[in-house]
Amino acid sequence: MQIGVPAGTLLANFAFLLCNAVLPNEALLSWGWRIPFLASILRVGVGMYIRLNTSETPAFSKVKESAAQVKVPLVEVLTKSWKQVLLGGVATMSTGTAFNLIVAFGLTYGTQTLGFSRNAMSRCQATLVSHECNELLHLVRERPRLARGQLHATNEEQP
Protein backbone atom coordinates (compact mmCIF):
# COMPACT_ATOMS: atom_id res chain seq x y z
CA MET A 1 0.00 0.00 0.00
CA GLN A 2 1.48 3.31 -1.08
CA ILE A 3 0.40 6.05 1.29
CA GLY A 4 3.63 8.06 1.36
CA VAL A 5 2.85 10.50 -1.44
CA PRO A 6 -0.73 11.32 -0.37
CA ALA A 7 0.33 11.62 3.28
CA GLY A 8 3.26 13.87 2.32
CA THR A 9 1.02 16.00 0.14
CA LEU A 10 -1.49 16.31 2.95
CA LEU A 11 1.23 17.42 5.38
CA ALA A 12 2.57 19.88 2.79
CA ASN A 13 -0.90 21.37 2.30
CA PHE A 14 -1.37 21.76 6.04
CA ALA A 15 2.06 23.41 6.33
CA PHE A 16 1.15 25.79 3.51
CA LEU A 17 -2.21 26.56 5.13
CA LEU A 18 -0.46 27.33 8.41
CA CYS A 19 2.08 29.62 6.71
CA ASN A 20 -0.69 31.28 4.72
CA ALA A 21 -2.69 31.92 7.90
CA VAL A 22 0.24 33.31 9.90
CA LEU A 23 2.25 35.28 7.33
CA PRO A 24 1.16 38.31 5.33
CA ASN A 25 0.91 37.73 1.57
CA GLU A 26 4.10 39.68 0.78
CA ALA A 27 6.16 37.73 3.32
CA LEU A 28 4.72 34.43 2.14
CA LEU A 29 5.68 35.12 -1.46
CA SER A 30 9.16 36.48 -0.69
CA TRP A 31 10.48 34.01 1.92
CA GLY A 32 7.61 32.25 3.70
CA TRP A 33 7.16 29.60 1.01
CA ARG A 34 10.53 28.15 2.10
CA ILE A 35 9.30 27.24 5.60
CA PRO A 36 7.41 24.05 4.58
CA PHE A 37 10.46 22.88 2.61
CA LEU A 38 12.75 23.43 5.60
CA ALA A 39 10.24 21.70 7.89
CA SER A 40 10.27 18.68 5.58
CA ILE A 41 13.73 17.87 6.95
CA LEU A 42 11.85 16.41 9.93
CA ARG A 43 9.89 14.14 7.58
CA VAL A 44 13.11 12.94 6.00
CA GLY A 45 14.41 12.10 9.48
CA VAL A 46 11.26 10.15 10.32
CA GLY A 47 11.47 8.32 6.99
CA MET A 48 15.10 7.39 7.58
CA TYR A 49 14.26 6.13 11.07
CA ILE A 50 11.44 3.95 9.72
CA ARG A 51 13.57 2.61 6.87
CA LEU A 52 16.54 1.79 9.07
CA ASN A 53 14.34 0.03 11.62
CA THR A 54 12.30 -2.02 9.15
CA SER A 55 13.50 -5.54 8.57
CA GLU A 56 13.77 -6.99 5.10
CA THR A 57 11.39 -9.64 3.82
CA PRO A 58 12.48 -13.26 4.27
CA ALA A 59 12.80 -13.69 0.48
CA PHE A 60 15.17 -10.71 0.22
CA SER A 61 17.19 -11.86 3.23
CA LYS A 62 17.56 -15.31 1.66
CA VAL A 63 18.89 -13.84 -1.59
CA LYS A 64 21.20 -11.52 0.31
CA GLU A 65 22.62 -14.41 2.35
CA SER A 66 23.29 -16.45 -0.77
CA ALA A 67 25.37 -13.53 -2.10
CA ALA A 68 23.99 -14.16 -5.59
CA GLN A 69 24.74 -11.20 -7.81
CA VAL A 70 23.84 -10.45 -11.36
CA LYS A 71 26.26 -8.48 -13.52
CA VAL A 72 23.60 -6.28 -15.11
CA PRO A 73 20.38 -6.54 -13.05
CA LEU A 74 18.39 -4.18 -15.27
CA VAL A 75 19.03 -6.31 -18.35
CA GLU A 76 17.98 -9.46 -16.47
CA VAL A 77 14.77 -7.88 -15.24
CA LEU A 78 13.89 -6.54 -18.67
CA THR A 79 14.59 -9.85 -20.40
CA LYS A 80 12.95 -12.18 -17.87
CA SER A 81 10.08 -10.04 -16.60
CA TRP A 82 9.43 -7.44 -19.27
CA LYS A 83 5.64 -7.96 -19.12
CA GLN A 84 5.52 -7.29 -15.38
CA VAL A 85 7.76 -4.22 -15.78
CA LEU A 86 5.54 -2.86 -18.55
CA LEU A 87 2.29 -3.57 -16.68
CA GLY A 88 3.71 -2.13 -13.46
CA GLY A 89 4.79 1.02 -15.25
CA VAL A 90 1.41 1.51 -16.91
CA ALA A 91 -0.44 0.82 -13.65
CA THR A 92 1.73 3.31 -11.80
CA MET A 93 1.29 5.96 -14.46
CA SER A 94 -2.46 5.49 -14.61
CA THR A 95 -2.94 5.86 -10.87
CA GLY A 96 -0.40 8.58 -10.33
CA THR A 97 -1.05 10.85 -13.28
CA ALA A 98 -4.41 12.24 -12.19
CA PHE A 99 -3.28 12.68 -8.60
CA ASN A 100 -0.06 14.45 -9.60
CA LEU A 101 -1.85 16.71 -12.07
CA ILE A 102 -4.30 17.77 -9.40
CA VAL A 103 -1.54 18.40 -6.88
CA ALA A 104 0.99 20.04 -9.20
CA PHE A 105 -1.28 22.17 -11.36
CA GLY A 106 -4.46 22.41 -9.32
CA LEU A 107 -3.30 25.25 -7.09
CA THR A 108 -2.05 27.37 -9.99
CA TYR A 109 -5.10 26.68 -12.16
CA GLY A 110 -7.52 27.39 -9.30
CA THR A 111 -5.87 30.65 -8.31
CA GLN A 112 -4.86 32.09 -11.68
CA THR A 113 -7.61 30.82 -13.98
CA LEU A 114 -10.59 30.28 -11.70
CA GLY A 115 -9.83 33.16 -9.33
CA PHE A 116 -9.92 31.27 -6.03
CA SER A 117 -7.63 32.28 -3.18
CA ARG A 118 -4.53 30.19 -2.45
CA ASN A 119 -5.99 29.34 0.93
CA ALA A 120 -9.25 28.06 -0.59
CA MET A 121 -7.44 25.97 -3.20
CA SER A 122 -5.05 24.54 -0.63
CA ARG A 123 -8.01 23.52 1.55
CA CYS A 124 -9.62 21.95 -1.51
CA GLN A 125 -6.47 19.96 -2.26
CA ALA A 126 -6.18 18.88 1.37
CA THR A 127 -9.76 17.62 1.18
CA LEU A 128 -9.04 15.66 -1.99
CA VAL A 129 -5.85 14.19 -0.54
CA SER A 130 -7.66 13.32 2.70
CA HIS A 131 -10.19 11.41 0.61
CA GLU A 132 -7.33 9.63 -1.20
CA CYS A 133 -5.75 8.67 2.14
CA ASN A 134 -9.12 7.40 3.35
CA GLU A 135 -9.42 5.21 0.25
CA LEU A 136 -5.94 3.83 0.83
CA LEU A 137 -6.67 3.14 4.48
CA HIS A 138 -9.80 1.27 3.37
CA LEU A 139 -7.44 -1.17 1.67
CA VAL A 140 -6.14 -2.16 5.11
CA ARG A 141 -9.35 -4.13 5.55
CA GLU A 142 -8.64 -5.80 2.22
CA ARG A 143 -5.02 -6.55 3.10
CA PRO A 144 -5.38 -10.35 3.41
CA ARG A 145 -6.92 -10.62 -0.05
CA LEU A 146 -4.33 -8.27 -1.56
CA ALA A 147 -1.51 -10.18 0.15
CA ARG A 148 -2.77 -13.47 -1.28
CA GLY A 149 -2.82 -11.92 -4.75
CA GLN A 150 0.70 -10.58 -4.35
CA LEU A 151 1.91 -13.93 -3.03
CA HIS A 152 0.33 -15.70 -5.98
CA ALA A 153 1.94 -13.28 -8.44
CA THR A 154 5.32 -13.71 -6.72
CA ASN A 155 5.09 -17.49 -6.81
CA GLU A 156 4.37 -17.42 -10.53
CA GLU A 157 7.63 -15.56 -11.08
CA GLN A 158 9.72 -18.19 -9.26
CA PRO A 159 11.39 -20.76 -11.53
- Which is it for the CA torsion 110, 113, 114, 119, positive or negative? positive
Query: What is the reported pTM?
Result: 0.50
Residue whose C-alpha is closest to residue 153's, from 71, 91, 74: 91
Mean pLDDT of the residues in the chain:
77
Please give the single-letter amino acid code of residue 152.
Answer: H
Return the pLDDT at 156. Answer: 44
Q: Are 37 and 19 in contact (CB under 8 A)?
A: no
Please give the single-letter amino acid code of residue 87.
Answer: L
Return the pLDDT at 91. Answer: 79
